[in-house]
Each structure stands twice: as structure tokens, then as C-alpha cells.
């Protein structure tokens, strides 16, 4: 599949799920005006219909870009996930089709950490229950089950961007921070890494989850894990809904093994704000339930809009894949007075030799060449004199193993 360079007004961009207007402004500022903006996600059949015609798509966590959807995305060059998580995209299928995927790895980190810190304080004081009772006209003035955060142990599972930020903030209010991570991590402040999950579960007064959705984190916290937690501990999950077995959690709350919980993400989430939220946790006054809003602050959404739209325009304008989550990363200088060929190919021996031989045969001088590969694909970027660019694109497209070739002037 090959493409000539389209003028910017012909490049179609579909933005879903009400991404912040800062994304639209950033795209427009960079010359992209052909933007369709929808406040919601789309049902799969409609998504398949619309994605056929677009070069870039922007989504959040509700839109699932499965292999079936990507099969229809004939023109798609890149996906922008206007969030941290990218589990809603079949990253491997996108890569095999030469579609780069970008996200915003830190823009909502602080928002999630702040929400979790607030929940820790409220849950340690038993506020959700007292609040619910007061709404029903009941007056529960009592210190029973009400504790300061100072001196309590916070156990963080997944000590990445959010986990570390939360750890620092929790230490600032006098909590002791321990964490479990599958990687050896640089500990910030006075935090301590523990060697296994059980140890952390046994020691912490509050457990907070900050892992990605992976096969290994599915039901990371189930009946057996809750069993080893302290009597009266608190569980917080603002990572992904698959990480906690909700039925096991409901049972633990029923038996008062846990004093409370805060859950922001669920195995199945409503597809829109009009759909009913169904969960066995609804009956518990001591559980804070939030509709996947950990990262939903004005500050975070604005920054995400600018960051991800910026990455899409950079990839479109000059081919840079820096911070792409499924693509070999190539950092590129700006293009001036030349043409740039972007070639995504299956990573097999001899592709570069074929390219160089074809260019040599046609007397095409290579001004600069950049190559990065991973175990599946290679991404080569070649700057040539503009006089030779169309021949060069034809030659590139004919190379065996070509997935995509694109040209920028
Ligand atoms: N609720 C929200 O709105 C919201 C907002 C942002 C992010 N998130 C979720 O939070 C997750 C974490 O975000 P982050 O920016 O801190 O990610 P990150 O990649 O910086 O950190 C994740 C950490 O988890 C560790 N990890 C991975 N698998 C593990 C396992 N099996 N056991 C223990 N540790 C494991 C990693 O080594 C890493 O240190 C995201 O993947 C996303 O799903 C949710
Ligand atoms: O904005 C969203 O839909 C997802 C937010 C959060 O889960 C993320 O992964 O950044």
C-alpha cells in the first residue's frame, strides 16, 4: 500500500469520545482542518463504516479498535489514544498494518494520584458510610472505624508514574509507603519495595492498584489475595477493571473483611452516560464508586489534547514516532527542501539492501536515512531530492515485505 503526500485539508481526522477542544485547536494550528468531532464512542458497525475513510483517529478508553475494526481502516495512518491506557487497541494488529499508536503517558498522572489520596483520607475516616447515612436522615456521630492517615501503611501495587506520585503525596501526610512491582524500581522518598505481593497485602492498611491491564494483572486481586489482607483494610482500584475480581470484593465487603473500597474502573463499563451502571458494589455504603474519572480533570484533559494531537501532527508532518507505543521509535529532524519517504516493512533480512540497490539503480541519492526495527516490523525513513521522490516511492512500494510507504514534501 503506498500513498502520495496529501495536502493537509485532505487528511481526514475523526475524534471520538469528546476529547478536549485543545486537541482540535492543536490540529487546526498545525494546518489540519478536516476534522470530524463526536462527543461519544461509536457502536462497532458504525465505527467500521466511519474508520474506512479516515487517516487519523482519536479515541479514549471506550472505543475498542479490534482487529475486525482495523481490517476496515484502509487509510488509517495512526491512532491517538487521548489517555494513558492503550489496552482498548489491538496494538499488535495495528503494528502489522503499519498503523502507529500514540498515547499521553503522563498527562493525567497527577489527577489520578490526587483522587486516590482523597479517597484514602475519606475511607480511613469512614466518611462514605456516614455521608450515605446522613443523606438518608441518619446521624452516625461516632469515632468507631475512623482513623488518621498518619502512620498508616499504604501498599502500592504498580510503582510507575501514578504509583510513585501517589507514594510521594501519601508520605507528605505521614503515611508509610511500601510497594510491589514486577520490576526493580528506583524508590522515591522513603518508600520501600517488597519482594512479593503477599507480603505487601499482609502489611498494608490501604492497598492501591496502579498496574496496566495485561494477562498477568487479570484478577490480580481475587478471593485468595483479599484473604491475606489485614482485617479492616481498604482496597482502591483506579487502574483497570479487569484487575480486581468484583464478586470476590463484594463478598469480602459483605463479611466485613474490608472496611471499605474505592473503585473507579470496572470489568464492564457503561458505553455512554445514558446507560445504567450495573454492579454488585452498588449496595455498599462504604464503597466509593466513580465512573472511570480518575484522569478526568480539566487540566489533564487539556494537556492530553495538546500532547496527543501534537504527536499525531508530528507523525503526519515529519514521520517522527517518538513515544509511539507499538512502533519502532525514530526521532527525526524537520524536513527542509527535500522529500521524505516513510517505509514500514516486515522485519525480514534483506529489505534495506533491496531498497538501497533499487535507489542506486535509479541514481537516487540518499541524503539521510534512519532505521529502527523491532521483532515484527522495520521503519525506515529516507530523505531524497524532491526531483527523485516519485520514482523513489514507486521503488519503495515494490520492495518485498512492504506494509506501507508514504511520502512527505
Ligand atoms: N482511572 C483512570 O482514569 C486512569 C487514568 C490513568 C491511568 N489509568 C490506569 O493506570 C495504569 C497505571 O498507570 P501509570 O501511568 O502509572 O503506568 P506505568 O506504566 O507508569 O506504571 C505501571 C507499573 O505497573 C508495573 N506492573 C506491571 N505489571 C505488574 C504486575 N503484574 N504486578 C506488579 N506491577 C506491575 C510496571 O512495572 C509499572 O511500574 C494505566 O495502565 C491505566 O490503565 C487509569
Ligand atoms: O479518558 C479515558 O477514557 C481513560 C482515562 C484513563 O483510564 C487512562 O487510561 O488514561
Determine whether the shortest distance from the Cβ of 221 to ligand 1 is under 6 A: no
Q: Relative to the CA of 17, which ligand 2 atom is closest?
A: 3
User: What's the gap in Å between 217 CA and the centre of ligand 1?
Assistant: 10
Q: Relative to the CA of 301, which ligand 2 atom is closest?
A: 1
Ligand nearest to the CA of 185: 1
User: What's the gap in Å between 326 CA and the centre of ligand 2?
Assistant: 18
Give the pLDDT score at 386.
87
Check: CB of residue 90 under 8 Å from CB of residue 70. Answer: yes
Give the pLDDT score at 337.
86
Give the pLDDT score at 3.
55
Task: Report the interhelical angle of 389-398 vs 351-361 (nearest 10°).
Answer: 140
Give the pLDDT score at 334.
87
Is residue 240 flagged as an active site residue? yes
- At residue 394 the predicted structure's pLDDT band, cuts being 50, 70 and 90, is very high
Provide mean pLDDT across the span 161-178: 98
d(CA 38, CA 55): 16
Determine whether the shortest distance from the Cβ of 295 to ligand 2 is under 6 A: yes
Ligand nearest to the CA of 84: 2
* pLDDT higher than 70, residue 365: yes
Is residue 343 flagged as an active site residue? no
Provide mean pLDDT across the span 228-246: 98
ipTM over 0.90: yes
Is residue 345 flagged as an active site residue? no
* pLDDT higher than 50, residue 392: yes
* pLDDT higher than 80, residue 139: yes
Which of helix, strand or coil describes residue 93?
Answer: helix
Per the residue annotation, which of 20, 55, 292, 406 is the catalytic one?
A: 292
Check: CB of residue 79 under 8 Å from CB of residue 103. Answer: no
Listed in sequence order, the residues at least 6 apart from 365 whose beta carbon sits closer than 8 Å to its beta carbon are 384, 385, 388
d(CA 56, CA 70): 12
- Portion of the chain with pLDDT greater than 70, in percent: 99
Per the residue annotation, which of 55, 240, 340, 345 is the catalytic one?
A: 240
* pLDDT higher than 70, residue 60: yes
User: Facing residues of 56 across strands?
Assistant: 13, 78
Amino acid at each position: 500500500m503506498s500513498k502520495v503526500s496529501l495536502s493537509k485539508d485532505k487528511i481526514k481526522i475523526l475524534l471520538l469520545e469528546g476529547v478536549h477542544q485543545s486537541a482540535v485547536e492543536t490540529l487546526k494550528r498545525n494546518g489540519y482542518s478536516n476534522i470530524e468531532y463526536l462527543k461519544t464512542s461509536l457502536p462497532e458497525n458504525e465505527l467500521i463504516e466511519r474508520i474506512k475513510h479516515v487517516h487519523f483517529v482519536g479515541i479514549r478508553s471506550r472505543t475498542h479498535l479490534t482487529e475486525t475494526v482495523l481490517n476496515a481502516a484502509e487509510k488509517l495512518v495512526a491512532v491517538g489514544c487521548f489517555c494513558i491506557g492503550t489496552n482498548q487497541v489491538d496494538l499488535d494488529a495495528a503494528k502489522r498494518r503499519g498503523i502507529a499508536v500514540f498515547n499521553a503517558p503522563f498527562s493525567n498522572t497527577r489527577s489520578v494520584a490526587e483522587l486516590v489520596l482523597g479517597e484514602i483520607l475519606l475511607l480511613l475516616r469512614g466518611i462514605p458510610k456516614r455521608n450515605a447515612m446522613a443523606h438518608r436522615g441518619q446521624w452516625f456521630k461516632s469515632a468507631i472505624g475512623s482513623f488518621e492517615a498518619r502512620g498508616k501503611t499504604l501498599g502500592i501495587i504498580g510503582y510507575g508514574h501514578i504509583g510513585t506520585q501517589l507514594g510521594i503525596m501519601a508520605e507528605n501526610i505521614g503515611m508509610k509507603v511500601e510497594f510491589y512491582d514486577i520490576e526493580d524500581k528506583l524508590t522515591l522518598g522513603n518508600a520501600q519495595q517488597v519482594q512479593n505481593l503477599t507480603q505487601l497485602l499482609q502489611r498494608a492498611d490501604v492497598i492501591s492498584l496502579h498496574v496496566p491491564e495485561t494477562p498477568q494483572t487479570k484478577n490480580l486481586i481475587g478471593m485468595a489475595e483479599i484473604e491475606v489482607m489485614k482485617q479492616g483494610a481498604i482496597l482502591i482500584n483506579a487502574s483497570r477493571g479487569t484487575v480486581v475480581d468484583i464478586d470476590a470484593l463484594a463478598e469480602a465487603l459483605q463479611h466485613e473483611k474490608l472496611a471499605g473500597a474505592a473503585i473507579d474502573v470496572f470489568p464492564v463499563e457503561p458505553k455512554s452516560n445514558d446507560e445504567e451502571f450495573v454492579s454488585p458494589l452498588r449496595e455498599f455504603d462504604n464503597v466509593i464508586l466513580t465512573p472511570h474519572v480518575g484522569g478526568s480533570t480539566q487540566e489533564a484533559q487539556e494537556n492530553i489534547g495538546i500532547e496527543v494531537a501534537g504527536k499525531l501532527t508530528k507523525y503526519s508532518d515529519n514521520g517522527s514516532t517518538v513515544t509511539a507505543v507499538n512502533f519502532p521509535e525514530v526521532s527525526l529532524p524537520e524536513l527542509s527542501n527535500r522529500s521524505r519517504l516513510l517505509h514500514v516493512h516486515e522485519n525480514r533480512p534483506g529489505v534495506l539492501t533491496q531498497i538501497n540497490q533499487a535507489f542506486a539503480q535509479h541514481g537516487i541519492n540518499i541524503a539521510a536515512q534512519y532505521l529502527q526495527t523491532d521483532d515484527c516490523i522495520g521503519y525506515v525513513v529516507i530523505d531524497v531530492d524532491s526531483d527523485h521522490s516519485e520514482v523513489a516511492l514507486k521503488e519503495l512500494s515494490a520492495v518485498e515485505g512492504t506494509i506501507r510507504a508514504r511520502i512527505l514534501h
